[in-house]
Structure 1
Amino acid sequence: MQFIQMFDNKILEFIRINLHTPMMDKIVPIVTSLGNMGLIWIVIGLAFIANKKYRKYGFIMLCTLCIGALIGDGIIKPIVARARPFNFVENIQLLIKAPTSYSFPSGHTMSSFAAATIIYIANKKMGIGAFLLAALIGFSRMYLYVHYPSDVLIGCVLGITLSIVIYKIVSPKYDKKFN
């Protein structure tokens, strides 16, 4: 665990020292806000539900987002109880309001990659764009010093894994009931 913490700290310091610019300091909070409460993904899921061709995928995406929030925020975060990186750096000025929940795993990243995976299953071209946005949201969490790289990496893995598992369980049942 100490090795992971050292690795996390080095990456965060690299980002803070080498990648921060005044322009990025304005753009990155906007990018991260797209993932707040999974809102962009919920809107996309609802848009999918409104379109008959993508209805099944929208339903599965919304199920995945709800289950992911329960698992990530309701179970894993309280068990691991990892403090956020900004808590350990003196005089750091956050560009967003300090989150009050625990750090591990990144909920923004988990929901973003979960939704992007379902979008990719539904439509590869849209999915590539969704994965790009998910990656930007994940990076934004490190840039803003509210998550460690390992929080983001595990959020990514959990999101992808959860969406595939839920898709494999729900899709055949959905098809049987509605097709």
Structure 2
Amino acid sequence: MISLLQNIDNSILLFIKNNMHGNIMDKAMVIITSLGNGGAIWIIIAALLMINKKYRKIGFMALCALILSTILGEGILKHVVQRIRPSADIPVINMLITKPLSYSFPSGHTASSFAVAGVMAKYFKKYAAGFLGLASLIAFSRLYLYVHYPTDVLAGIILGLICSGIIIYIFGKNCFLKNILLKG
């Protein structure tokens, strides 16, 4: 089963490499992936929301979802699974970004993007497609740039949405944790 998944992963990456690469796409994917570096775009969005009293809770929820996805993905799952990156497995002529030093599974860029996009989509339904679209572009950029396998990205999407769901649930309940976090 693992061998089959690995073959599917490799086939998808090779399809992207052989059919989608070009100068404009190369530049666009480098820019798009950089938006997800360190969760930068999502931290900026959360910070802007927290500045506004009306949206402070949503901004804080987005930040909590981002932190939770980072702890679970980068802090735990990557070290348990220890999957090497595709660029180490499959020969790539020209890496467009610096090779990441961490493990591959799950995709941290994808997990953090979907964690925040999930919260945003819940509370800003009118802009849900935009948030989820940006998260999807960041996720795709990780495949395009050969730093993640498709199953890494799929796991990142699932992890991110689970994290947003957990945070939405916690903040939707009148629970002890919510009261501690929002005091002040």
TM-score by length of 2: 0.92
Please name the residue that 1:97 is paired with.
98
In structure 2, how many angstroms separate the alpha carbons of the residues matched to 1:101 and 1:68? 16
Unaligned 5+ runs, structure 1: none
Please name the residue that 1:27 is paired with.
28
Please name the residue that 1:166 is paired with.
167
| Deviations 1:28-66, CA, capped at 9 Å, x for gaps | 100000000001000100111112221111111111111
Distance apart, 1:89 and its partner CA: 2.3
**What code does the residue aligned with 2:50 have?**
I
Aligned residues: 178
In structure 2, how many angstroms separate the alpha carbons of the residues matched to 1:107 and 1:136? 14
Q: Summarize the alignment of residues 24-173 of structure 1 with structure 2, pairs less than 5 Å apart.
A: 24-173=25-174
Kept after mapping to 2: 8 A contact 1:12/1:148 = yes
Q: CA RMSD in A?
A: 1.5
In structure 2, how many angstroms separate the alpha carbons of the residues matched to 1:38 and 1:171? 24
Deviates more, 1:143-152 or 1:62-71: 62-71
Q: Summarize the alignment of residues 10-21 of structure 1 with structure 2, pairs less than 5 Å apart.
A: 10-21=11-22
Deviates more, 1:6-15 or 1:47-56: 47-56
In structure 1, how many angstroms separate the alpha carbons of the residues matched to 2:145 and 2:102? 15
In structure 2, how many angstroms separate the alpha carbons of the residues matched to 1:85 and 1:102? 10
**What code does the residue aligned with 2:71 have?**
L
**What code does the residue aligned with 1:120 have?**
A
Distance apart, 1:152 and its partner CA: 0.4
In structure 2, how many angstroms separate the alpha carbons of the residues matched to 1:125 and 1:96? 34
Distance apart, 1:91 and its partner CA: 4.8
TM-score by length of 1: 0.95
Distance apart, 1:122 and its partner CA: 1.3
Unaligned 5+ runs, structure 2: none
Kept after mapping to 2: 8 A contact 1:49/1:55 = yes
Residue identity over aligned pairs, in percent, reads: 48
In structure 1, how many angstroms separate the alpha carbons of the residues matched to 2:122 and 2:56? 13
* Secondary structure at the counterpart of residue 101 of structure 2: coil
